[in-house]
Amino acid sequence: MNKTTQTVLRVDASVRTQDSVTRDLTNRFIDGLTQGKETALLRHDLAGGLPLIDEEWVGANFTPEEDRTDAQKQTLEQSDALIADVKASDIIAIGLPVYNFGIPAALKAWLDLIARARVTFRYTENGPEGLLTGKKAYLIVASGGTPVGSEIDFATSYMKHMLSFVGITDVTIIAADQMAMDADASLARAKSQISEALAA
C-alpha cells in the first residue's frame, strides 16, 4: 500500500440503519475526511450485533497461542479479524448513539472482542499499557436528552477510557447531543464540529 494512503476504520453502532443521526453525521465526516485523499476504508456495521464473549472464548483467549487447539483458534477468529482492522487503521471513526446513558450493547461486544491481554494491551510493573498506539479516533455521538460530557454521560467517558486502555489516546468527540430539546441546533453544532475537525 502506498505510504500516502490513509486507512480509516468506520464502526457504526446504531441499531437503526435508516434515519440514524450518527450514521448521517459519520457519512458527512467520512466524505470530508476522504475527499482528495488516497484512502483504504474498512467498515464494521454492528446493527446486526456481535457474539458475546463466553466461557469458551475466555478459555481460548487465556490459552497460550502456541497451545491453542484448532477449535480455540476458530473461537478467536472474529476477534482476531476485528483487531487486525484496528491495527491496520490510522483513523477510527465510531458512530456512537447514547442508549440509556451508555453505549449500545453491540459496541460493548466489539470492545470486549478487541480488548485482549498480550494482543492489544499488556500488564507491566507500572500498570496496564495499551499497544494500539499512533492512532486517531473520533466519536461521533448523538443523544436524545443526555448532555455529552455531563455526569450522566457514561457513553463517551467509557469509550475514551477503553480506547485509552488499548493505546488510543488521541480522541475527538463530535456531538449532536440533547436532540430531543432542539434537534436543529444540535445538528448544526455537530456539523460545525465536523468542519473544525476536518480543518484541523
- Collapsing DSSP to helix, strand or coil, 145 comes out as coil
Over residues 84-90, the mean pLDDT reads: 98
184-193: list long-range contacts, CB under 8 Å, 24+ apart. Answer: 187/21, 187/25, 190/25, 190/140, 190/142, 191/25, 191/28
- Would you say residue 94 lies in a domain? yes
Tell me the CATH number at 153.
3.40.50.360
Torsion-angle region of 149 (φ positive above 0: left; ψ -120 to 50: alpha; else: beta): left
Q: Give tens-digit pLDDT for 54-73.
A: 999 999 999 999 999 999 99
Q: What is the count of structural domains for the chain?
A: 1
- Would you say residue 1 lies in a domain? no
Does the pTM exceed 0.85? yes
Residue 189 structural domain: 6-199
Strands 6-12 and 39-45: what pairing?
A: parallel
- Would you say residue 44 lies in a domain? yes
d(CA 8, CA 12): 13
Q: Give tens-digit pLDDT for 18-54.
A: 999 999 999 999 999 999 999 999 999 999 999 999 9
C-alpha cell at 35: 475527499
Strands 121-124 and 91-97: what pairing?
A: unpaired
Give the pLDDT of residue 3.
55
